[in-house]
Amino acid sequence: MKLKSGSIQTNGADGGISVSLSRLASSDLVWKLLIQILSIIAALLVGAVVIKIIGGNPASAYRALFLGSLANRKAFWETLVKATPLILTGLSFAYASRTGLINIGAEGQLYMGGFLATLVGSNFAWMPMVIHLPLTLFAGFTGGGLWGLIIAWLKVKFGANELITTVMFNYVAIYFISYLVTGPMIEPPGTYPQSRPITDTAILPRFFQGSRLHWGLILALICVFLYWFFFRKLKVGYEARVVGSNYKTAKYAGMKPARIMLLVMFLAGGMGGLAGANEILAIQGKLFQGFSPGYGFDGIAVALVGMNSPVGIILGGVLFGALRSGGNMMQMIAGVPISTIYIIQSLVVIFVICGQMLTRESRNKLLIIFRRNNGRR
Amino acid sequence: MDAGNTILQIVSSFIEADLRVAAPILIAAIGILYMEKAGVVNIGAEGTMLIGALAGSIGAYLFQNPWMGALLAGLVGGLVGVLFAYLVVTIKANQIVAGIAINILALGGTTTVNRIFFGLNASSANIPSFQKTAIPFLSDIPIFGSVFNQFGLAYAAFLLVPFTYYLMKKTTIGLKIRSVGEHPEAADTAGISVPRIRYGTVIIGSAIIGVAGAYLSVGLLSFFSENMVSGRGYIALAAVIFGKWNPYGIFIATFLFGFGDALQVRLQTMGSSIPYQFLLMMPYLLTVAALAGFVGKAVAPKASGKPYFKG
């Protein structure tokens, strides 16, 4: 059914222009990029109609969106600040997705990561930064990782559907944080429901004055590289992909899907946890209820639009980061509610889905024509 | 004797509360069942319910009648079903991905429309809500009488259970739906239109899920609040699995899941020393426990989740 790139083999050097065209047409990257861009444009156009319907002015709304996200250096830094957790939560979904698991739980993992990071980051002030900061980040990773690990354990041991358990665990995590910051972890004397502040030795430093852009971005990019490395260079990553595409084959080939799932969900959860640690250590400086504006859920859209590819996830993160940072400006200047960006976000996802499916068909037709023209024997 | 009476009363009011909070999950789960029987998994149920909840409060507000709210919720839910069916049947998109898209759309869409329609404090709007209707005589039965003192919509939900069972097991249309869910190729060969059955079940199922949303906003509460479904759509999906795709099984499953919610509310009002956050976790933990503990071999429709490509 599905034609893959490289399924066309021209015989000899008689190809000429049609061959290079067919190469181009069958090149995954060109197609994907083209579809993605067209889908985003289409989503923005429909988004304009939506803004019009709810009584806003699309032109001024988009102008404000642009002003707040990409128009100048300061706005762009802010976009990157928002993109940082999105890239990490996008990786959380992507790790699981490549292994055939559906992880809707990045939000909960993010909270649990934030919890452990706060626990370590607001204590041990005597440690030098070179030890304290990595330790705190590791705590964040572990917090989310363990939260993901439970999901995998419930799945491989009891067959509990991870799609549902991850959602349930989001709520459990959110209530747990609410309990912590109103109870055991409340900052003395207990006036506000928040934890003690993170000590200076565990704060993620900013790059320069006047912008919130911080080292978390580098961390996120390193994680993207490691994600690529895991699935492309490691044996276990290869096995994970096999488990994801065909569970039975993996099993017959002597792989251990259960162990792979446990590992992958630990890593996926760890990415969510790092997103939480990152948000606490660089932006918020303390733990409180609802410190994430839904980064965990947005990560799903990031991974979907980025099609689980490393570069795609970075671009997806920047795109939705831009929507988030520009959304504030849109609300302030154009008076269009910030929730509209969620509509635009979902439109992007819907159009990307449609684009992928529709062009798959037209692409297949195109490939057949090229094949005929090349006089395939 | 007195103590006995008190216990009876507690049990009775507990059953009443359990059914009251279980009903929206039951309605949503039945809606989900319709499409799952035809081989479509809709994790967009959460979002569809949320949209239904908003439509319900708007309908009830505009017409000053909760039933009109439920009706509007059903209509709008059906429209969401059209979109979802287009994505998964016509475009043949991955059903999980399409469901996620619906959920994101619902979150942004309802928040935006709610702010425009009701302003920032929606709870102040005067929205009529369902009142409990006691069925004469039946509601006087000791202990179980409380079963017959529910919102009108809850009775409809309870009737939906045997109706759905009958429809799926005893009628031709039910047979067609099941054949599409179990073996679409064979159904196609037998002259059944797979797309038509899937469109139909998705639209009807989504309409039912929309009504479940209205139960929240014009039943349990009398206003819409952002993300008020808070996982019930997913719990309904769990109920379908736990109930093994059987309407009666689903009824028992939702009654069990409602137990967590009802117990949580009761413990809170009793002034339990357990922090309230742990009580609020109970419905979710119970769902996880149910999925992990008691399911055994699941018997999902065979073509569940797979798009059908005509060969």
pLDDT of B9-32, one tens digit each? 778 878 888 888 899 999 999 999
Residue B286 lies in a domain: no
Whether A358 shows a pLDDT value over 70: the answer reads: no
Q: Across chain A, what does the average pLDDT equal?
A: 88
Instruction: For residue B293, give the nearest of A158, A164, A340 by CB distance.
Output: A158
Q: What is the mean pLDDT of residues A171-199?
A: 92
**Min Cα–Cα distance to chain A from B171, Å:** 31
B281 touches chain A (CB under 8 A): yes
- Better-scored residue on pLDDT, A44 or B132: A44
**Min Cα–Cα distance to chain A from B14, Å:** 24
Q: What is the CA radius of gyration of chain B?
A: 20
Residue B232 lies in a domain: yes
Residue B94 binned pLDDT confidence (cut-offs 50, 70, 90): confident
Q: What is the mean pLDDT of residues B119-124?
A: 64
Whether B76 shows a pLDDT value over 90: the answer reads: yes
CB atoms within 10 A of CB A363: 16
Tokens 């006087």 correspond to: B140
SS3 content of chain B, % helix, strand, coil (to 5): 75, 0, 25
pLDDT tens-place string over residues A291-348: 998 899 999 999 998 989 999 999 999 999 999 999 989 989 988 888 888 899 889 9
Instruction: For residue A176, give the nearest of B230, B277, B309 by CB distance.
Output: B277
Assign B175 to helix, strand or coil: helix
Whether A22 shows a pLDDT value over 70: the answer reads: no
Q: What is the mean pLDDT of residues B242-260?
A: 91
pLDDT tens-place string over residues A247-291: 888 888 888 999 999 999 999 999 999 999 999 999 999 999 989
How many structural domains comprise chain B? 1
B95 touches chain A (CB under 8 A): no
B25 touches chain A (CB under 8 A): no
Residue A375 binned pLDDT confidence (cut-offs 50, 70, 90): low
Query: How many Cα atoms within 13 Å fall on the side-chain side of residue B288?
Result: 21
Whether B308 shows a pLDDT value over 90: the answer reads: no
Q: What is the mean pLDDT of residues A98-115?
A: 96
Whether A33 shows a pLDDT value over 90: the answer reads: no
Residue B135 lies in a domain: no
Residues ≥6 apart with Cβ < 8 Å to A194: A181, A186, A187, A286, A287, A288
Residue B88 binned pLDDT confidence (cut-offs 50, 70, 90): very high
- Better-scored residue on pLDDT, B99 or B2: B99
Residues B93, A353: C-beta atoms closer than 8 Å: yes
Residue B141 binned pLDDT confidence (cut-offs 50, 70, 90): confident
Residues B104, A175: C-beta atoms closer than 8 Å: no
Q: What is the DSSP letter of A159?
A: -
Residues B87, A297: C-beta atoms closer than 8 Å: no
Q: What is the DSSP letter of A292?
A: S
Residue B232 binned pLDDT confidence (cut-offs 50, 70, 90): very high
Q: What is the mean pLDDT of residues B188-213?
A: 95
Residue A3 binned pLDDT confidence (cut-offs 50, 70, 90): very low
pLDDT tens-place string over residues A231-249: 999 999 999 999 998 888 8
Window from A135-149, A285-299, B263-277 with minimum mean pLDDT: B263-277
Do residues B10 and B138 lie in contact, with contact meaning Cβ atoms separated by under 8 Å?
no
Whether B247 shows a pLDDT value over 90: the answer reads: yes
| Percent of chain A clearing pLDDT 70 (strictly above) | 88
A164 touches chain B (CB under 8 A): yes
Per the structure, the complete domain to which residue B201 belongs is given by 24-121+152-257
Chain B contact probe: residue of A168, A297, A305 with most B CBs at under 10 A: A168
Token reading at A309: 């590819």
Q: What is the mean pLDDT of residues A132-141?
A: 96
Residues B284, A301: C-beta atoms closer than 8 Å: no
Residue B126 lies in a domain: no
| Percent of chain A clearing pLDDT 90 (strictly above) | 62
Q: Which of A12-21, B274-283, B299-308 reaches the highest mean pLDDT?
A: B274-283
Size of interface A-B (CB pairs under 8 A): 138
A293 touches chain B (CB under 8 A): no
How confident is the model at residue A30, as a pLDDT? 76
The ipTM assigned to this model is 0.89
pLDDT tens-place string over residues A190-241: 888 999 999 999 999 998 888 899 999 999 999 999 999 999 999 999 999 9
Q: Which of A71-75, A116-120, B241-245 reaches the highest mean pLDDT?
A: A116-120
Residues A160, B234: C-beta atoms closer than 8 Å: no
**Sequence-separated contacts (24+) of B6-13 with Cβ below 8 Å:** B8/B142, B8/B143, B11/B143, B12/B142, B12/B143, B12/B144, B12/B145, B12/B146, B13/B146
**Min Cα–Cα distance to chain A from B151, Å:** 27
B130 touches chain A (CB under 8 A): no
- For residue B149, the cross-strand partners are B134
Do residues A326 and A67 lie in contact, with contact meaning Cβ atoms separated by under 8 Å?
yes
A304 touches chain B (CB under 8 A): yes
Whether B208 shows a pLDDT value over 50: the answer reads: yes
Residue A15 binned pLDDT confidence (cut-offs 50, 70, 90): very low
Whether B202 shows a pLDDT value over 60: the answer reads: yes
What predicted TM-score, i.e. pTM, was given to this entire model?
0.89
- Separation of alpha carbons A143 and A149, rounded Å: 10
Residues B298, A1: C-beta atoms closer than 8 Å: no
Residue B5 lies in a domain: no
| Alpha-carbon distances, residue A175 vs A272, A281, B284 (angstroms) | 17, 21, 11
Q: What is the DSSP letter of B149?
A: E
Chain A contact probe: residue of B46, B87, B94, B112 with most A CBs at under 10 A: B112
- Closest-CA residue to A358 (of B91, B95, B99): B91
How confident is the model at residue A27, as a pLDDT? 62
Chain A contact probe: residue of B284, B308, B309 with most A CBs at under 10 A: B284
How confident is the model at residue A19, as a pLDDT? 54
Residue B11 lies in a domain: no
Window from A2-16, A59-73, A313-327, B236-250 with minimum mean pLDDT: A2-16
Whether B259 shows a pLDDT value over 90: the answer reads: no
Q: Across chain B, what does the average pLDDT equal?
A: 88
**Min Cα–Cα distance to chain B from A260, Å:** 20
- Closest alpha carbon within chain B to A355: B91
Instruction: Give the relative orientation of helices A73-98 and A235-245 as an angle to the nearest 10 degrees.
Output: 70
Whether B58 shows a pLDDT value over 70: the answer reads: yes
- Separation of alpha carbons B37 and B134, rounded Å: 34
Do residues A115 and A287 lie in contact, with contact meaning Cβ atoms separated by under 8 Å?
yes
Q: Show residues of chain B in contact with A178, CB under 8 Å.
A: 277
- Separation of alpha carbons A263 and A255, rounded Å: 13
- Better-scored residue on pLDDT, B306 or A203: A203
**Sequence-separated contacts (24+) of A133-137 with Cβ below 8 Å:** A133/A201, A133/A202, A133/A203, A133/A204, A133/A281, A135/A202, A136/A198, A136/A202, A136/A277, A136/A281, A137/A219, A137/A274, A137/A277, A137/A281
B128 touches chain A (CB under 8 A): no
How confident is the model at residue B118, as a pLDDT? 84
Enumerate the domain spans of chain A. Answer: 85-305
Q: What is the mean pLDDT of residues B290-303?
A: 72
Instruction: For residue A1, give the nearest of B109, B115, B309 by CB distance.
Output: B309
How confident is the model at residue A1, as a pLDDT? 37
Window from B17-31, B102-116, B127-141 with minimum mean pLDDT: B127-141
How confident is the model at residue A249, as a pLDDT? 87
**Min Cα–Cα distance to chain B from A1, Å:** 9
How confident is the model at residue B216, as a pLDDT? 93
